[in-house]
Structure 1
Amino acid sequence: MSDAADNGDYIAYQGEPGAFSELACLTYAPGLTPLPCATFEDAFEAVRTGRVKKAMLPIENSLAGRVADIHHLLPDAGLHIIAEYFLPVEHHLMARPGVTLDQVKIVRSHAMALGQCRRFIKDHALKPEMAGDTAGAARQLAEQGHGDEAVIASAHAAKQYGLDVLAANIEDEPHNTTRFLEMSLEPEDADPDAGAVVTSFVFEVRNIPAALYKAMGGFATNGVNMTKLESYQLGGAFTATMFYADIEGHPAHEPVRLALEELSFFSSSLKILGVYEAARER
């Protein structure tokens, strides 16, 4: 992680300069300077130690699903979700100056980016190779790439590293969007009367028959809409399952309060990660 941040007017993200996460920081929080971090844990730590004010982290993509590792890191991060942001993802094929599309044989990028551009890769008979992230692939290509190599990344990355865009908007679907969570050390719960509100939480159901079914019943009977429910294993044990959920509504609202009370009765743990205004893109 860079040592540039010394006054807190920064927002941390995972990746290198030119990454989609940096673009999310620049578009959603233009008043803060993006600070690249090598890992999600580094971004969390930058917030916890006060080196940055906030962190901007991707949680899911409309085509590729959830971002690996992020869910099981959130409960122990010590941070609070304060906002969500939906970034339209536009993938571009880029190469070193002077290289043409018909010369390209190999394309590198993050696994999610490669997966979101399968049709283009297949149609042009390119050999996909995975890289740690889109911006890192772009940087490495600019520094030591060959004439038969290209990367998939953002136009922001092409500008950052002086690469030529050979083909624009090559993603398989035009609705490709990544949802980001803005996180801070202190909670900034939305006003109960602010309008559409999202409450995010994680929970582990008790080891009793039909525990998940019973735990979910409170949301149905109280008319609370659950927009996301995802499971992941704890510590590699098949018997210990944690769930991440998003619901519409504020814990101060009676239906949400009652639903969470019923959930807690059938859960061995329950932790609210954030209460924040819903993005308009929902």
Structure 2
Amino acid sequence: MPIEMNLMAVPETSLENIKVAASHAMALLQCRNSLRELGITAEVFHDTAGAARALSQTRELDRAAIAPEVAAELYGLKILKKNMEDARHNTTRFLVLTTEGRVVAPAPDVPCVTSFVFRVKNVAASLYKALGGFATNGVNMTKLESYIENGVFASTFFYCDVEGRPNDPGLKQALIELEFFATKLEILGTYPMDPFRLSEGQR
């Protein structure tokens, strides 16, 4: 889902008056270049909508909030600058999880993404060997994130997104090769590729 951040303030002020903008730490991080260009100091708040609500109560003329457009509508604020996010592709993703054993698979002609986690030993070249099969089998990996397990460096978990389904010949072989080098492999699910991802891939 595309995420758009907006700089908003009370209707009585203007962009030239703004010295400080409050928002959630992640939102501020996503807008840091825009804030720097405007000469506005970032201030961390516990959430984006909360920053907008607080501003609507204090009515300070030199302060702003960074939040979604709906927050301006809810709290009677004026949007001073839209699309404050530095990256045009600024997005987030929501996952729907189920404990049900039977899940309806996407239609065969629908492009899909498969998500999985795996663990490798903390030895030289373990990750390189574990992921080599994706390159040799032509599988596009779109996300790779690492997580230290239990706060120690003895082993590391990795979260991956790849294009395709586990039964596709290329991905099937890549997972077999990964399993050979990994100490654990768990497929979290396969789901339809979002149209936004498809459109970005065609650029």
Task: Establish whether TM, by shorter chain, passes 0.5.
Answer: yes
Structure 1 unaligned runs (5+)? Answer: 1-85
Two-structure CA RMSD over aligned residues (Å): 2.2
Q: Is the contact made by 2:121 and 2:155 (CA closer than 8 Å) also made in structure 1?
A: no
Q: Does 1:230 align with 2:145?
A: yes
Q: Distance in 2 between matches of 1:221 and 1:242?
A: 22
Is 1:247 the counterpart of 2:162 in the alignment?
yes
CA contact under 8 A between 2:20 and 2:63: conserved in structure 1? Answer: yes
- What does residue 183 of structure 1 align with? 96
CA contact (8 A) 1:189 1:274 kept: no
Q: Is the partner of 1:165 in helix, strand or coil?
A: strand
Aligned twin of 1:100: 14
Q: Match of 1:168?
A: 82
Q: 1:189-234: per-residue Cα shift (whole Å, max 9, x none)?
A: 5336133111001110134543222211222333222222221212
Aligned identity (percent) is 47
Structure number having the greater helix percentage: 2
Looking at secondary structure, tell me which structure has more strand per residue.
1
Which residue, out of 15, 28, 37, partners 1:114?
28
Change (3 A) 1:120 1:207: closer
Unaligned runs of 5+ in 2: 198-203
* Secondary structure in 1 matching 2:95: strand
Indicate if the aligned counterparts of 1:203 and 1:270 stay in contact, CA closer than 8 A: yes
Give the superposition deviation at 1:159: 0.7
Is the contact made by 1:92 and 1:168 (CA closer than 8 Å) also made in structure 2?
Answer: yes
1:36 aligned partner: none
Corresponding residue of 1:216 = 131
Counterpart-to-counterpart distance in 2, 1:133 and 1:101: 22
Q: Secondary structure at the match of 1:230?
A: strand
**For residues 122 and 214 of structure 1, do their structure 2 counterparts lie closer, same or farther at Cα, with a shift above 3 Å needed?**
closer
- Aligned residue pair count: 195
Larger radius of gyration: 2
TM-score (norm 1): 0.62
